[in-house]
Structure 1
């Protein structure tokens, strides 16, 4: 029975690692052309660049990067694209947090009593009212 529990723990960890990997792949998909361009810039500039015969433009393969980005934008469904026109961020209130010293306040008490007030029970003795 202990073996089954350890096996389930391993499967949960494996499933978590798998989903983290899928998440990272999905996030890196949008920057994949930039990574490919950075890693293969010499090859792209030498063989794939349209403007390699015109050195005055100093393209260095950026035309290929622009094509790859355009191709990726075409392959992305319209439902996944977010238009910033629909989400204005100009009216968002930005709150500034106080300094850390203001949040952390340590009060050191040198007295054993928390409420420092003076009240003497013997100062006024109770006298019953006069009846006569």
Structure 2
């Protein structure tokens, strides 16, 4: 169930993101029908409009709607949970929480003894 819900939400986000591209794809798929029904320049075939005027109107309309939409949804909610929390907190007894911390065991496999070191500064014989 949650997988289908996630797929549904993802599809909604993708539809919103690619809305203009989907309009262009729809135009390309139904170019002949759009030319017959919605083209403004039918009387002037030398312009080779082929319904691009209708596509431009749709894209302009979508851009205007997007620019008119607020950047973030501003919803004012009046939520009064604090008095309920105070009553609930007064009824509930508080006990100290004891957290035990355990140090992890460290196994050190590295040892260093300066007596057996092979790394030393070079000696110069003059």
Question: TM-score w.r.t. structure 1 length?
Answer: 0.47
Question: TM-score w.r.t. structure 2 length?
Answer: 0.49
